[in-house]
Chains A and B, each alone.
Chain A
Amino acid sequence: GAVVSQHPSRVICKSGTSVKIECRSLDFQATTMFWYRQFPKQSLMLMATSNEGSKATYEQGVEKDKFLINHASLTLSTLTVTSAHPEDSSFYICSARDASGRTGYTDTQYFGPGTRLTVL
């Protein structure tokens, strides 16, 4: 149980295009999902917190118009990187928090496998 998937696992795009990354909780309901960014050999940096049915809360310094987050259901959140540039190249990881308690923990975050974005 407590599986989180991300799609795609790897994406290469041209500068100026937009890229959508999906995050799904496969076997539990997640009222809250989180989006992180990780640079090589560094820790995770929280970008935004996504709550089902409401607007995402962005961390300081993260452009909400560039990183669009939609959390339309209890099992799906999407991150769209708009007008991507080479500096947006990074490893993006989502996590989901179990609201139902099926996993035994309601405050634990379960992480997806990550999406490697390369912008040429």
Chain B
Amino acid sequence: AQSVTQLDSHVSVSEGTPVLLRCNYSSSYSPSLFWYVQHPNKGLQLLLKYTSAATLVKGINGFEAEFKKSETSFHLTKPSAHMSDAAEYFCVVSERGQNFVFGPGTRLSVLP
């Protein structure tokens, strides 16, 4: 069975500084990996998805994530945080297109 760990429940950065949100997963098969963002009282928006084609995945709003099989990680990064990036971020793993398994989420705060 697959599982997801998000190592930080809360990350706080200053506007204009880099963002790093960590995600580690376990899977018996080659997984699909996703990052979603949720703003307060809103649904989830897909930021990016890992396919087997490229280990460095670029998403929307300047986010990207790197799939590292040896480290079973899929960390989310952004070079420069913006105030509008403040939200909850979920790392998700899926095996063979089946049910999603969500991480517990990381709340990102961006300070002015």
Contact = CB atoms under 8 A, between A and B. Distances in A.
Given A106-B97, A108-B46, A44 B102 contact: yes
Nearest to A46: B99
Interface of B: 32, 34, 36, 41-46, 49, 90, 94, 97, 99-100, 102-105
Contacts of B102: 43-44
A80 interface: no
Given A46-B99, A105-B49, A6 B104 contact: no
B104 A114 contact: no
A93 B90 contact: no
Interface of A: 2, 4, 6, 34, 42-44, 46, 49, 91, 93, 95, 105-114, 116
Given A6-B43, A107-B32, 10 more contacts: A34-B99, A42-B105, A43-B90, A43-B103, A44-B102, A46-B100, A93-B44, A106-B97, A107-B97, A108-B46
Contacts of A4: 43
**Max chain A C-beta neighbours (<10 A), residue from B32, B41, B100, B103:** B100
22 contacts: A2-B46, A6-B43, A42-B104, A42-B105, A43-B90, A43-B102, A43-B104, A44-B102, A91-B41, A93-B43, A93-B44, A105-B49, A106-B97, A107-B94, A108-B32, A108-B34, A108-B49, A111-B36, A111-B43, A111-B45, A113-B43, A116-B41
